Amino acid sequence: MANSLASFYRGKKVLVTGHTGFKGGWLTAWLKILGAHVIGFALPPGTRPNLFDAATIDRDMVSLFGDVRNFEELSGTFAERSPEIVIHSAAQPLVRRSYREPVETFATNVMGTVHVLEAARHTPSVRAVVVVTSDKCYENREWFWGYREEDAMGGHDPYSSSKGCAELVTAAYRHSFFASESAAIASARAGNVIGGGDWSEDRLMPDIVRGISSGTRIVIRRPDSTRPWQHVLEVVRGYLLLAQRLWEDGQRYAKAWNFGPSDESAIPVAEVAKRTIALWGKGEINIRPDSGAPHESKYLHLNSEKARNHLGWQATLTIDQALEWSVEWYRLYYENPACALPVTETQIQRYMRMFP
């Protein structure tokens, strides 16, 4: 599959929103390896350190700082750069922050998506659009079997709701404006992603890494909370395959897609911390349950059979491999920050070799 990705993406003009972020950084690095012409559009990186600066993501691409809430700015970029493929990954992606900043979260995640799709429909060069949403877009019934793409949208907190809304926006644009053969749009739903280069607030792996690297105890607030974990490269491969199929076979793939990990990858938060510490060889945990924490939905498990049967995508790395690759990345980075780019590229190449 890697070969076909390489032959497909070579020379393609791909606009990535959110290239200064965690997933967008990995996606951009991979697209550059594949030989694509990448145009990035995002706010400047919001954390220090960050993958964008550490791995010099802005090299060998057109990197633009802009705000998806500003339609003029965004549509000007589409008009000027004429992308052929768009992968919309920019978002306010944090649940806790969405409680503090609901208006900004809805503005970025909902109207930002409207702006991307509106700009895309007025850009004749665009043939494929992938909108990145989340497993949290589903109305969480707290049941134990996997959610399928046809299940109802919902979302208790502002972030989850904004992702459900982004799905509805995408469906409305697809039915209203993209039903012809000219361009095809799809959405991609995935869950908790881990991997090197994420330093976001209120995320487990970055919290663990901050604790280990600074020699402070890692505070775990929801030790028994079980989440499905997957490596960022698994999800990014899903986006790449989906955009390729949209380009090649248009409307057949213009729908919503789940990209979830295997069942074995759902382990409790405390277990992720313990295994990470064991792999790194240092670190200490402080379990401190937070009774006043805002509501977060319980375990939500995606059924990804559609992606497996129709895109040839399936989760490949075990949870232990995903943790090993993540720890390898961070450990090398803290030994020598200049390693960030070579480690990122080496891991992408290693992952590509898994799909001959």
Ligand X SMILES: NC(=O)c1ccc[n+]([C@@H]2O[C@H](COP(=O)([O-])OP(=O)(O)OC[C@H]3O[C@@H](n4cnc5c(N)ncnc54)[C@H](O)[C@@H]3O)[C@@H](O)[C@H]2O)c1
Q: Where along the sequence are the contacts to ligand X (CB under 6 A)?
A: 18, 20-24, 42-43, 46, 67-69, 89-93, 108, 112, 132, 134, 190-193, 200
Residue closest to ligand X, measured at CB: 21
Nearer residue to ligand X within complex by CB, 69 or 156: 69
Q: Is 328 exposed, middle or buried (0-12, 13-18, 19+ CB in 10 A)?
A: middle
Nearer residue to ligand X within complex by CB, 21 or 196: 21
Shortest reach from residue 98's CB to ligand X, in Å: 10
Nearer residue to ligand X within complex by CB, 134 or 244: 134
Tokens representing 171 are: 């469906």
Q: Which amino acid is at 10?
A: R
Nearer residue to ligand X within complex by CB, 201 or 249: 201
> Phi and psi (nearest 5°) for 19?
-70, -15
Q: For the stretch 265-296, what's the b/e string if a residue is b when 16 or more beta carbons lie within 10 angstroms of its beta carbon?
A: bbbbbbebbbbbbeebeebebeeeeeeeeeeb
Shortest reach from residue 188's CB to ligand X, in Å: 9
Shortest reach from residue 16's CB to ligand X, in Å: 9
Q: Tell me the H-state helices in the chain.
A: 2-9, 22-34, 51-54, 71-81, 95-100, 102-106, 112-121, 158-177, 204-214, 232-249, 269-280, 305-306, 319-335, 340-352
Give the residues across from 285 on adjacent strands: 218
**Reduced 3-state DSSP string for 95-107:** HHHHHHCHHHHHH
Shortest reach from residue 47's CB to ligand X, in Å: 8
Nearer residue to ligand X within complex by CB, 155 or 211: 155
Nearer residue to ligand X within complex by CB, 59 or 282: 59
Shortest reach from residue 94's CB to ligand X, in Å: 7
Residues in the chain: 356
Nearer residue to ligand X within complex by CB, 24 or 283: 24
Per-residue CA distances from 135 to 111, 155, 183 (Å): 20, 10, 25
Shortest reach from residue 258's CB to ligand X, in Å: 11
Shortest reach from residue 102's CB to ligand X, in Å: 14
Q: How far apart are CA 284 and CA 300, in angstroms?
A: 28
